[in-house]
Amino acid sequence: MTQGAYTPAYGHFAHVHPVSTLVMHKYTDRDGHLAAYENELAVLHWVQRFGGSSCRQLARLVWPDCSQGTRMAQRTVARLLERRLLLKRTLYTGGRLVVVSRLGARVLRENGLWTATARGHRQLKFEHPMHRMIANEFVIDRHVSGQQIWPEFEVQRDIAPNLEIRVNGQNRIPDAITQADQSLAWIEVENAPKSRHRRAQLMTLATDLLSPAEGYYVAMPRLEGWFDEFIFVLANDACARATVRALRDAHLGPNVLQRIELIRVHMTPNLLWHGVVARSDAASLLHQLRGSRI
């Protein structure tokens, strides 16, 4: 496999046989062709996990250490589009993603990824592309740094570990989950106004997760560890101010505030990712803003 290629989260399905003739019909055993085949499986794998992906995202997922990663992603996607294993989707905000077709899902299932839906994602709707893309880009950043990730698409489709925390009689799920060793992070993306009640629920949730000395322990297939980090990913200044006000009004204990991180990110209206702009733990930020009008 080429430098910087992926490590599958659900086992090394790329090496399960028999190999799908849908992909391999024109390949020989030469190293270059086998590498291209494995890269195609890697791209299909990540598009399936995220629901839909751009070439830039796939470059970071499959070739994070390669200076020609975007070009390699474009070439690989072009081959998969030509063989109808991927399909193009244009977002109303601008920009284009690819999704897994019925044939692409068949290839993944034949190679051991049973979470791939048999119908593919032709009918998949992207009703909130800004929120979805921010969540995706943020967890890709964490993937590049070596962490395990469960994107929003997997969480919503119950493909990720089925984690629900009950708050005030309602089940809450994260926008994404990341893991470093046994340290788990609950990710909440804030890119639109929320009611005070909804923000108060998030403060209660953070308290429930972070109050135990080591964090909230979970043990289930493919996920074991302690939720000891709660991350607000903030897309704009209005969301940042509203979140800080909610934290101030909740009067959370210092042990909880130290484990809440506020990360301001920037994404353009046409969904170009510019990464993290600023970050701070909640305790330090509230101390700095003491006496200030927010």
Look at residue 113 in the predicted model and tell me its pLDDT: 74
User: Are 136 and 57 within 8 A, CB to CB?
Assistant: yes
Rounded Cα–Cα distance for residues 164 and 106 (Å): 30
The CA angle 62-63-67, to the nearest 5 degrees, is 160
The pair phi, psi for residue 230, each rounded to 5°, is -125, 120
Six-digit token string for 161: 């570990």
Nearest by Cα to 142 from 268, 32, 31, 279 = 279
Helix (H, G, I), strand (E, B) or coil at 160: coil
The position carrying tokens 């077709």 is 101
**CA 26/CA 24 separation, integer angstroms:** 6
Query: Token pair for residue 197?
Result: 């009640």
Full pLDDT tens readout for the chain, 294 residues: 344 443 333 333 433 333 333 443 344 445 566 778 889 999 999 999 999 999 999 999 999 988 899 999 999 999 999 999 999 988 887 788 999 999 998 888 888 877 777 666 767 777 788 999 999 999 999 999 999 999 999 888 877 676 767 666 667 889 999 999 999 999 999 999 889 888 999 999 999 899 888 888 888 877 889 999 999 999 999 999 999 999 999 999 999 999 999 999 999 988 999 999 999 999 888 878 775 665
Which residue, 26, 42, 48, is CA-closest to 76?
Answer: 42
Range 129-288 has CATH code 3.60.21? no
The CATH number given to 13-110 is 1.10.10.10
The answer to whether 23 touches 42, Cβ cutoff 8 Å, is no
Q: What are the boundaries of each domain within the chain?
A: 13-110, 129-288
pLDDT score at 120: 66
Q: What integer pLDDT is reported at residue 43 of this predicted model?
A: 95
Asked whether the beta carbons of 85 and 104 are under 8 A apart, the reply is yes
Bridge partners of residue 16, in order along the sequence: none
The one-letter amino acid code at 156 reads Q
- Which residue do the tokens 């930020």 mark? 285
What pLDDT was estimated at residue 233?
A: 98
**Cβ partners under 8 Å of residue 192, min gap 6:** 131, 239
Q: Which tokens in the block code for residue 267?
A: 């994404």
